[in-house]
């Protein structure tokens, strides 16, 4: 049985106005695809000139400070950053198409267990369009940087995406499960980007990531609002489903694929043992749990805002995964 809804406003996230007009009612005037010039051309950098910028955030690759890599020439450091940028962008391209937009389709087509108001379904169509454009930007810059470094593009697959899709195959409530995957992905992604403000990146890369980020802040807010709209309207068994699936989805979203680093180091002629040692270090369960907990901070905050953790059973599940104390 569906619970009775006392108020349409949950923690100020979803008002009747938003239900009618959507979060992105001025999307024509502020989305990247509708308003920004295409300033994403990348050129080779001078490895001896620090002013030409980094290809990726060094702070995101903590393994660069590993003593095993001490003395690595600056040119190779930049190539590692460039290869990580390519990996990140190729992953982003697939994530937008196969994961986020699959999730968004179910909202736009009103396939969730709860009927979604018109404005919020229109928003889903806008997010779908944004993500399609982000995929173009990401694939284009990945291609440019691959050419600059002479790296063959081989239609890479990413185990995280395959694992999320495999998980979705097992969902008893498929459309709600897909919504949860979108909710976790879209609230987690912004933490990836927040590192960029402190780094001087190659201009075309900087412009592209900044533009992408400006949309993603809004997407994160939208998915948070969608969750706060759905949560009080779900039945108890639907809530239990969410509470069971969310921790495993969060964990999947932060699991690393060590083979990507090993392949890059191999192609660069760096001792394969170094990549293996670094991958083992990063792949430790304790490291993985720490990444999930810190990366999902916005997701966890959204859950708290909905009084999700009022149920001690849900607290126990999240505690078991190390996501909360």
- Whichever of 131 and 252 has its CB closer to Fe ion, that residue is 131
By beta-carbon proximity to Fe ion, the closer residue of 193 and 321 is 193
179 or 314: whose CB is closer to Fe ion?
179
- CB of residue 150 to Fe ion, shortest distance in Å: 28
Choose the binding region for Fe ion from 57-65, 123-131, 139-147, 249-257 (rule: CB under 5 A).
Answer: 123-131
Q: How far is the CB of 34 from Fe ion (least distance, A)?
A: 15
Q: Rule CB under 5 A: is residue 219 a binding residue for Fe ion?
A: yes
Tokens of 79: 């190539």
The answer to whether the CB of 58 falls within 8 A of the CB of 199 is: yes
Min separation Cβ 212 and Fe ion, Å: 6
- Least distance CB 89 / Fe ion (angstroms): 11
Nearest CB to Fe ion, comparing residues 36 and 219? 219
Among 36, 126, 134, 251, binds Fe ion (CB under 5 A): 134
Do 129 and 108 contact (CB within 8 A), yes or no? no
| Closer CB to Fe ion, 24 or 265, in the complex | 24
Number of residues that bind Fe ion (CB under 5 A): 4
Task: Dihedral sign for Cα 317, 318, 322, 325, please.
Answer: negative
Minimum distance between the CB of residue 18 and Fe ion, rounded to whole angstroms?
18
Q: Is 221 an interacting residue with respect to Fe ion (CB under 5 A)? A: no
Cβ-based neighbours of 271, under 8 Å, separated by 6 or more: 265
Residue 83 is a binding residue for Fe ion (CB under 5 A): no
Q: DSSP readout, 24-63?
A: TTTHHHH-HHHH-----------TT-GGG-BSS-GGG-GG
Which residue stretch of 13-21, 108-116, 134-142, 314-322 sits at the interface with Fe ion (rule: CB under 5 A)?
134-142
The Cα 153–Cα 169 span in angstroms is 29
Nearer to Fe ion, 222 or 314 (CB): 222
Cβ atoms of 268 and 82 within 8 Å: the answer is: no
List the structure tokens of 242: 């969410």
Given a contact cutoff of 8 angstroms between Cβ atoms, the answer to whether 180 and 107 are in contact is: no
| Residues in 158-217 at the binding interface with Fe ion, rule: CB under 5 A | 216
Q: Which is nearer to Fe ion, 128 or 241 (CB)?
A: 128
Decide if 319 contacts 325 (C-beta within 8 A). yes
Give whichever of 69 and 164 is closer to Fe ion, judged by the CB atom: 164
> How far apart are CB 100 and Fe ion at their closest, in Å?
6
CB of 218 to Fe ion, least distance (A): 8
Q: Which is nearer to Fe ion, 133 or 241 (CB)?
A: 133
> Residue with structure tokens 């990580």?
84
Task: At 81, list the tokens.
Answer: 């950053």
What does the block give as tokens for 215?
């949309």
d(CA 267, CA 79): 11
Residue 210 CA to residue 212 CA, distance in Å, equals 5
> Least CB distance from residue 145 to Fe ion, whole Å?
18
The DSSP secondary structure of 78-140, one letter per residue, reads: HHHHHHHHHHHHHHHHHIIIIIIHHHHHHHHTT-SSSPPPHHHHHHHHHHHHHHHHHHHHHHH
Region from 1-9, 22-30, 53-61, 128-136 binding Fe ion, contact rule CB under 5 A: 128-136
CA 35/CA 15 separation, integer angstroms: 27
Q: Work out how close the CB of 128 gets to Fe ion at its nearest, in angstroms, rounded to a whole number.
A: 10
Question: Could you list the residues that contact Fe ion (CB under 5 A)?
Answer: 131, 134, 216, 219
């Amino acid at each position: 049985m569906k619970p009775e809804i006392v108020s349409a406003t949950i923690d100020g996230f979803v008002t009747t106005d938003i239900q009618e007009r959507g979060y992105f009612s001025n999307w024509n005037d502020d989305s990247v695809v509708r308003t920004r010039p295409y300033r994403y051309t990348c050129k080779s950098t001078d490895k001896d000139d620090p002013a030409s910028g980094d290809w990726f955030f060094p702070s995101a690759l903590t393994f660069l400070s590993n003593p095993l890599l001490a003395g690595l020439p600056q040119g190779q450091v930049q190539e590692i950053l460039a290869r990580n940028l390519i990996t990140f962008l190729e992953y982003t391209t697939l994530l937008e198409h196969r994961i986020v937009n699959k999730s968004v389709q179910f909202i736009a087509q009103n396939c969730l267990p709860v009927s979604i108001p018109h404005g919020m379904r229109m928003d889903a169509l806008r997010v779908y369009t944004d993500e399609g454009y982000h995929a173009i930007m990401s694939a284009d810059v990945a291609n440019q940087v691959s050419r600059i470094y002479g790296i063959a593009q081989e239609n890479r697959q990413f185990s995280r995406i395959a694992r999320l899709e495999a998980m979705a195959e097992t969902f008893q409530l498929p459309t709600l499960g897909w919504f949860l995957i979108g909710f976790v992905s879209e609230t987690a992604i912004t933490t990836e980007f927040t590192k960029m403000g402190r780094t001087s990146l190659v201009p075309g890369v900087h412009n592209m990531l900044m533009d992408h980020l400006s949309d993603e802040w809004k997407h994160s807010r939208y998915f948070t609002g969608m969750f706060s709209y759905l949560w009080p309207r779900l039945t108890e068994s639907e809530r239990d489903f969410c509470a069971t699936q969310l921790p495993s989805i969060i964990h999947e979203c932060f699991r690393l694929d060590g083979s990507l680093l090993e392949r890059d180091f191999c192609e660069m002629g760096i001792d394969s043992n170094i990549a293996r040692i670094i991958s083992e270090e990063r792949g430790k369960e304790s490291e993985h749990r720490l990444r999930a907990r810190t990366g999902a901070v916005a997701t966890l905050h959204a859950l708290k805002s909905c009084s999700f953790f009022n149920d001690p059973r849900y607290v126990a599940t999240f505690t078991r995964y190390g996501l909360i104390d």
